[in-house]
A and B are shown apart, each in its own frame.
Chain A
Amino acid sequence: GEDVEQSLFLSVREGDSSVINCTYTDSSSTYLYWYKQEPGAGLQLLTYIFSNMDMKQDQRLTVLLNKKDKHLSLRIADTQTGDSAIYFCADIYNQGGKLIFGQGTELSVKP
């Protein structure tokens, strides 16, 4: 079946850039998503990218998509302690609206 993979942990210093990586297997993906989950909370949609785009920028967030390698990344510029959370990438499966999630990357921002 379809699969989405992420590294589990990332630690950065406040003010640095964070790059969270994700790989997926579905070659027919139309949209790919990044969600943020803070402890005990639901998921917050951060951004998404359409498959015919290579890059999308939204304030401190930059999403890069390499469709050939099926690789997606999320860059957070000037990372703040409030960015500490778990970040999930997700692939929309089979046009049906179902999302397949990666394992989540726990981002720890140290002051």
Chain B
Amino acid sequence: GAGVSQSPRYKVAKRGQDVALRCDPISGHVSLFWYQQALGQGPEFLTYFQNEAQLDKSGLPSDRFFAERPEGSVSTLKIQRTQQEDSAVYLCASSFRYNEQFFGPGTRLTVL
């Protein structure tokens, strides 16, 4: 079956622009996670959904970051007024059981 997909794979934004990153999880996976991976670092947790409910957003770095999963499947991570420090790879993962996450290929965001 299909794995986790993310789009776009690459995004270049000018500083101040808004961006939206999409994640299609594996069908039937209840849990969905977003991570941010800066260059040369390990992924860092951003936010977690169980179905459509956002249960933890403690990792979101600022109020410019917003995530949603309105129907409990596809999720969108939105970044408003992008800054250079937002440049990173954004990874989405989904899980049926909370201790086994399957990752998408990521979206590489470059803010100029």
Chain A complexes with chain B: no
- Chain B residues near A (Cβ < 8 Å): none
